[in-house]
Structure 1
Amino acid sequence: MITGNYIKYCFGSQSCHVDAVHATSPQSDRFTDEIVAGIITKTGCAGIIGTVSRTVADLNRPPGQGNEEAVWEYRDVIGQFLYNTGLLKPGSRNLARPYLHIGIHGMKDQPHGPLSIEVGTIHGKTCSVRVKKWFGETLKAKVRDYSPDIKVIFDKHWVGNQSLASHRWGEGRRYPGYGKNYNAFQVEIARTLREYHRQEMIDIFTAVVADFTLMFSRR
């Protein structure tokens, strides 16, 4: 991996990247770095792991006092990923076809229980209707392959931060975004699943990335 000032990252061969922006203590989402590293290894997709604590500079927020430099480093690397895949034409900011961004986060075993995953899209603002439908159906199907007891919830408690939508729709002139083909999902995984079922989580999201490649990336 390449080490920056606030993140470490690697390029990939898929129209997708995964990240764990809250991987560093204190107040880390424990085990999210291991899950992301596992997905990267199994899929060959690009990935980012935060190396700064959210208490110092939160990468999952718009740039502001305290996190400005860190957020722009993070956003710049995402831009490099998109150019590396060939999805952006020279001089263009609009993606030529769908791109998938899976942000792996950690939540407590409450409020949904120890075997739960909540997906935040800010009620559809971070992705297209089509890709949201596909993501939900695919994730639930992959989860059922492992255990019918794992619950998948959308946009109920952890709906995602507005900064996630900025990659799609922009944030003023300074960060215009990449358009309707950028699809981002904030995935909150319960502590029990992260601690005791890490390999299952890696396998599930590896299968999701592979399915996305078959469904969208070759069109």
Structure 2
Amino acid sequence: MSIAKNLTEIKSQLPAQVTLVAVSKTKPVADLMEAYTAGQRIFGENKIQEMTDKWEQMPKDIEWHMIGHVQSNKVKLMAEYVSLIHGVDSLKLLQEINKQAKKHNRIIDCLLQIHIAEEETKFGLDEEEINHILTSDDFKSLENIKIVGLMGMATFTENQNQIEKEFNHLNSIFDKHSKLETSNLKLQTLSMGMSGDYKLAISCGSNMVRIGSSIFGNRNYQ
């Protein structure tokens, strides 16, 4: 089955309010261009260098989302063009994004990554840390970033009840903080759900899903 067909099929199943991020990590530009030609304009990458290489080669009306763990020292490579950074998990990282965005006279949209999984390996903030960041004077002084939502990854498990519980937990944190609004904070995006669990995520309130293998096929990790 072709990438274009996969894309059309998935899009036909998504509610109108749900944004599809095509996760294109490890895939060649030719595959991304097939998706682009089929109408996809939002691509998600997990390595800043790889994303930058693709940005340089591809049409400039693409929105690039950084969906992987972000190393502070690499932020400068994407500050010129990135549309949304999903995995922000510290004030220090926000300060670095703010600093690099300022150099390009931009405001960069970010999602705070919340730790909802039971696995220790997943990155993310707990509720206390989110509260601490969003109410701090250091955060309020950042003029070149905007927190536009939250993201989280469920535990890698076959247990649908557990995944549902984790998604609902993230949704409740989102609801709680969506009342807050400042010049650099307005929660509108709840990014949760991937190829294996995006339908469940949408039923739990997600309005942005990150889908890779169901569009591009399995990845070849070297």
Q: What's the TM-score once normalised by structure 2's chain length? A: 0.31
Q: What's the TM-score once normalised by structure 1's chain length? A: 0.31
> Which structure has the larger Rg?
2
